[in-house]
């Protein structure tokens, strides 16, 4: 059994499309560190979730990366949505940038407590630095942290005026191949989903273990 750590049942439904019915939801509110990249955030979450659950876990972190803003809002996408709002982010792009290119990125982290060829050490170092900076270090932090494997999915597009009534978050202002994500139905969106692409990579790796 794989436990997908999320409060969003929609993520679990999407995961089952790639991984089958062996995926179930784990509603665990792990302490999220602040970092400049998605990878250490997802890695930390997977380790914390495994310590809590004691069984194989998947954790994802995702964000919108605007090329002309050096990747902002990136890992802070949810915060920017809550504080500025999606339309304000679009207006910033309109006012400041000629280059409207952007990407949705998702990093999926897997941890099962077993030894395997983990993701590179820099992820672990970045995670520990971020944990220290945000006061999230644990007492007795492991010298050798639990192995975590990371998988990234990316979908590239550009920022446009809001269109469409579907989706959520930044979907109405992110255009891919002529349509915003909010204009796509669920099947169309899932077919190009950044999370789906990460899940597909994980599924291929997991099947060969």
Catalytic residue among 61, 112, 124, 171: 61
- Among 68, 67, 94, 66, residue whose Cα is nearest residue 80: 66
Assess whether 61 carries a catalytic annotation: yes
Beta bridge partners of 153: 106
Residues catalogued as catalytic: 61
């Amino acid at each position: 059994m794989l436990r997908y750590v999320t409060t969003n049942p929609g993520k679990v439904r999407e995961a089952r499309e790639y991984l089958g019915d062996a995926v179930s939801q784990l509603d665990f509110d792990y302490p999220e560190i602040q970092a400049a990249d998605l990878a250490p955030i997802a890695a930390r979450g997977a380790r914390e979730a495994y310590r809590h659950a004691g069984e194989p876990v998947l954790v994802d972190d995702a964000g919108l990366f605007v090329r002309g803003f050096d990747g902002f809002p990136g890992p802070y996408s949810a915060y920017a949505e809550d504080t500025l709002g999606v339309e304000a982010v679009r207006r910033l792009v309109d006012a400041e940038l000629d280059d409207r290119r952007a990407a949705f990125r998702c990093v999926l982290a897997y941890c099962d407590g077993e030894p395997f060829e983990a993701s590179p050490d820099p992820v672990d170092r970045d995670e520990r630095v971020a944990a220290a900076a945000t006061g999230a270090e644990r007492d007795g932090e492991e010298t050798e942290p639990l192995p975590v494997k990371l998988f990234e999915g990316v979908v590239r597009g550009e920022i446009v005026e809001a269109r469409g009534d579907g989706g959520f978050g930044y979907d109405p202002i992110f255009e891919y191949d002529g349509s915003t994500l909010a204009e796509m139905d669920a099947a169309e969106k899932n077919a190009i989903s950044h999370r789906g692409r990460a899940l597909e990579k994980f599924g291929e790796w997991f099947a060969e273990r």
